[in-house]
Amino acid sequence: MDIAKYIGLFLLKNHYCYIHGLGNMELVKRPATHDGKALQPPSYEVQVTPGGSIDDNLANFIATNEQISISKAANTLREYSIQARKDMASGQEVPIPNIGHFIEGGGRVKFVTDANFRYTPAGIPTIKNSKQLDEQNSRLQQKPSYPEPHKADSINWSMVILVVVLLIILGGGGYGIYYYMNSMKAAAAPAAVVPKDTVVQAPATVATPDSTQLKDTTAVASAPAVSATSGDTVKHTYKMIIGDYPELEKAEKRMRNLKINGNRADIMPKDSGGYYVFTNIKCFASDTAHVKDSLRILFGYKHVTISNK
């Protein structure tokens, strides 16, 4: 399965592509420039920023095209991300066909756009009014009612009106397409947003919890209560528990593996013995359920909860 190919296709289709472990790719338009001799047209390049929105859109796109399950596509994408980080750490480039390649610089993932990369946005379709065109053709075929000597001095008002009507139709069509694209983009935007200073990535180890993990999770409290009158307009920072280990050594090993992949993780002791591995997530109270579901998929831990400590 060529994951790099699907990353490029998804990026060109949606102008963005979030990859767990690598960051958020964006297709950015650069304005036209003058090189001293001629005016160069606008160009496009790809930028990568850390963090981004937690979503499964790319996994859904791969699953649809490959006719496989979303979970299988997400696992394959996670393996690609882990291997890409290893390759970049060893000084290799990770290519995205016909677009550019990933590199690592200063401990951060960067993207170098191919010098031959060219992107042309889809054109705006025109709308033809067949009734008006038929009427115009009918008028042109009729003989003029004014004397022949004055024909050269007359103005074809029908053609002027037709041009004005077509310009109005084109303007309305362009605005309709712009409104539709913005509406679709707003509807597809994920509810849970990870703050820029927090990078949530796939784990470098096996997604299932250790067999020696304790089953007692009664010490984990529910999310802090939010007043119904507040309108849920303030984001809170929650300690999301993504691991439960009976021994400190295993908890520390898990934390180190997460940090190697760029995740923020810490350890805290349990009241009943053992240790939790957790990560801080800033979001609205109404979005905690969605965030916990995403973390379960990313880290393979079925008992993701919110600590009250």
Domain boundary among 80, 113, 146: 113
Beta bridge partners of 33: 40
d(CA 267, CA 276): 6
In a domain, 255, yes or no: yes
In a domain, 259, yes or no: yes
In a domain, 242, yes or no: yes
In a domain, 123, yes or no: no
Are the C-beta atoms of residues 276 and 244 closer than 8 Å to each other? yes
pLDDT digits (tens, 9 = 90+) for 119-160: 777 666 555 555 666 777 777 776 555 555 544 455 788 888
pLDDT digits (tens, 9 = 90+) for 38-66: 877 778 888 888 876 677 888 899 999 99
Low-confidence ranges of the chain (pLDDT < 70): 52-53, 122-133, 142-154, 184-231
Domain boundary among 165, 188, 211: 188
In a domain, 125, yes or no: no
For residue 235 the two structure tokens come to 């984001």
For residue 43 the two structure tokens come to 């160009």
Do 210 and 269 have their domain in common? yes
pTM over 0.75: no
Do 157 and 263 have their domain in common? no
In a domain, 60, yes or no: yes
∠ Cα 264 269 270 (to 5°): 120
- Residue numbers of the domain that contains 198: 193-307
Number of domains in the chain: 3
Domain boundary among 171, 188, 205: 188
Q: What's the 3-state SS for 117-172?
A: CCCCCCCCCCCCCHHHHHHHHHHHHCCCCCCHHHHHHCCCHHHHHHHHHHHHHHHH
In a domain, 118, yes or no: no
In a domain, 299, yes or no: yes
Do 152 and 219 have their domain in common? no
Do 69 and 92 have their domain in common? yes
For residue 258 the two structure tokens come to 């997460």
From residue 290, alpha-carbon distances to 127, 199, 202 in Å are 42, 17, 17
CA terminus-to-terminus distance, the chain? 43
Do 281 and 197 have their domain in common? yes
pLDDT digits (tens, 9 = 90+) for 77-92: 999 999 998 999 898 9
Q: What is the predicted pLDDT for the residue at 226?
A: 42
Q: What is the predicted pLDDT for the residue at 41?
A: 77
